[in-house]
């Protein structure tokens, strides 16, 4: 089955994975199967992960002897596959185009839908957070995850309105946030964009999932195996950059995302290139959603997996 989702930086990811026949690759974010399809074309085997049960419809037609789909979070790859199993791991982070485009998922206010935003089928919805969290906690989510400077004002306005009528629809919340901020006034993005981003990240625990997923990839990769991660906003990229920098021995001190645990620990990764790769102007023109994407990649060394900080 085809889908409107276009995989970002696909050629760069395949080039940096450098896999072929006989190799095993984890596609940690299966989605509509764009990366999986390209990886299979190299002759490699793919074990794909996705917590969204609706993506199984995109798994039809792949070779059964070289492809399997696991309905689980990518942070569980090491538990499912075991240590040192994979020759490559690819992660395409964030919400997929197909999720955004399906109004019933509630990820976007481009079309009206239920205020859901869950990538999986369990846990609290965005409506649950909006209608039940204390204003200060709601403001924290919108500020930290949405990087919205007017978070306290928005949270206060939401709390006042929900006391009279709970929020249930995407357009309802988007329109209310826009009014609370005084309209668009020439803004390049909709005034509710950052609020929606913050809620989506909180609902799906995206940053903690990424932190755990990077550690799981470290365990799952063989020596010489490669990790490629595509991010779409600064919060994700900061975590990936910090993790790989520390694991590659680029920084002497730890961070809350990647604390070194043992003095003298050998680097468990080697960076494949400095900094991050970005989409070409041609790719951005063909797929505007690629504009903010960044790719970071590294190769697993023979060093032991780093232990977690106590």
Q: For 36, how many CA atoms within 13 A lie in the half-sphere containing its CB?
A: 27
Q: What is the pLDDT of residues 8-41, one digit of tens each?
A: 999 999 999 999 999 999 999 999 999 999 999 9
pLDDT at position 113, please?
92
Examine the pLDDT at 73 and tell me if it is beyond 90.
Answer: yes
Residue 141 placed within a domain: yes
Please report which confidence band the pLDDT of residue 90 belongs to, taking 50, 70 and 90 as the band edges: very high
What is the pLDDT of the chain when averaged over all its residues? Answer: 90
Residue 23 placed within a domain: no
Distances (CA, A) of 288 to 8, 14, 232: 10, 21, 12
Compare 95 and 47 and report the one with higher pLDDT.
Answer: 47
Please report which confidence band the pLDDT of residue 121 belongs to, taking 50, 70 and 90 as the band edges: confident
Using CA atoms, how far apart are residues 27 and 172, in angstroms rounded to an integer? 36
Residue 301 placed within a domain: no
pLDDT at position 185, please?
67
pLDDT at position 3, please?
45
Q: Which of 15-19, 148-152, 185-189, 270-274 has the lowest mean pLDDT?
A: 185-189
Closest Cα partner for 210 from 233, 232, 244, 239?
239
Using CA atoms, how far apart are residues 5 and 54, in angstroms rounded to an integer? 14
Examine the pLDDT at 261 and tell me if it is beyond 80.
Answer: no
Which tokens sit at 189?
Answer: 């993005």
CATH code for position 181: 1.10.150.170
Of the chain, the percentage scoring pLDDT greater than 90 comes to: 77
pLDDT at position 189, please?
86
Q: Are 230 and 210 in contact (CB under 8 A)?
A: no
Examine the pLDDT at 105 and tell me if it is beyond 70.
Answer: no
Residue 129 placed within a domain: yes
* 153: three-class secondary structure by DSSP: helix
Distances (CA, A) of 68 to 24, 27, 50, 84, 229: 11, 10, 11, 18, 21
Average pLDDT over every residue of 127-145: 97
pLDDT at position 104, please?
64
Examine the pLDDT at 81 and tell me if it is beyond 50.
Answer: yes
Compare 121 and 227 and report the one with higher pLDDT.
Answer: 227
Residue 219 placed within a domain: no
Q: How many domains does the chain have?
A: 1
**Backbone phi, psi, residue 231, to 5°:** -110, 165
Residue 280 placed within a domain: no
pLDDT at position 289, please?
82
pLDDT at position 1, please?
40
Examine the pLDDT at 200 and tell me if it is beyond 50.
Answer: yes
Residue 139 placed within a domain: yes
Question: What does the CA dihedral 169, 171, 177, 178 come to, rounded to 10 degrees?
Answer: -170
- Strand pairing category for 269-271 and 294-300: antiparallel
Examine the pLDDT at 179 and tell me if it is beyond 90.
Answer: yes
Residue 138 placed within a domain: yes
Q: Are 120 and 27 in contact (CB under 8 A)?
A: no
Q: Are 94 and 233 in contact (CB under 8 A)?
A: yes
Q: Which of 115-129, 159-173, 239-253 has the lowest mean pLDDT?
A: 239-253
Please give the residue range of the domain that contains residue 199. Answer: 103-204
């Amino acid at each position: 089955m085809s889908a409107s989702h276009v995989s970002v930086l696909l050629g760069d990811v395949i080039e940096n994975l450098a896999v072929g026949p006989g190799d095993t690759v984890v596609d940690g974010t299966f989605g509509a199967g764009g990366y999986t399809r390209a990886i299979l074309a190299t002759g490699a085997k793919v074990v794909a992960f996705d917590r969204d049960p609706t993506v199984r419809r995109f798994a039809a037609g792949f070779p059964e002897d070289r492809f399997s789909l696991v309905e689980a979070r990518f942070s569980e790859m090491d538990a499912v596959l075991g240590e040192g199993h994979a020759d490559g791991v690819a992660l395409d982070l964030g919400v997929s185009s197909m999720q955004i485009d399906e109004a019933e998922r509630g990820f976007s206010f481009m079309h009206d839908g239920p205020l859901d935003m869950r990538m999986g089928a369990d846990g609290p919805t965005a409506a649950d957070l909006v209608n039940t969290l204390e204003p200060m906690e709601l403001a924290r989510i919108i500020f930290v995850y949405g990087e919205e400077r007017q978070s306290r004002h928005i949270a206060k306005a939401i709390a006042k309105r929900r006391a009279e009528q709970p929020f249930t629809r995407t357009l309802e919340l988007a329109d209310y946030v826009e009014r609370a901020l005084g309209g668009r006034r020439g803004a390049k993005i909709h005034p509710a964009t950052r609020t929606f981003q913050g809620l989506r990240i909180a609902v799906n625990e995206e940053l903690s999932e990424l932190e755990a997923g990077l550690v799981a990839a470290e365990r799952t990769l063989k020596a010489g195996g490669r990790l490629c991660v595509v991010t779409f906003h600064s919060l994700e990229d900061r975590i990936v950059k910090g993790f790989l920098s520390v694991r590659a021995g680029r920084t002497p001190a730890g961070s809350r995302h990647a604390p070194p645990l043992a003095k003298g620990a050998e680097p468990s990764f080697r960076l494949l290139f400095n900094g991050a790769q970005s989409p070409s102007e041609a790719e951005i023109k063909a797929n505007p959603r690629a504009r903010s994407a960044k790719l970071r990649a590294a190769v697993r060394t023979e060093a032991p997996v780093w232990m977690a900080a106590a």
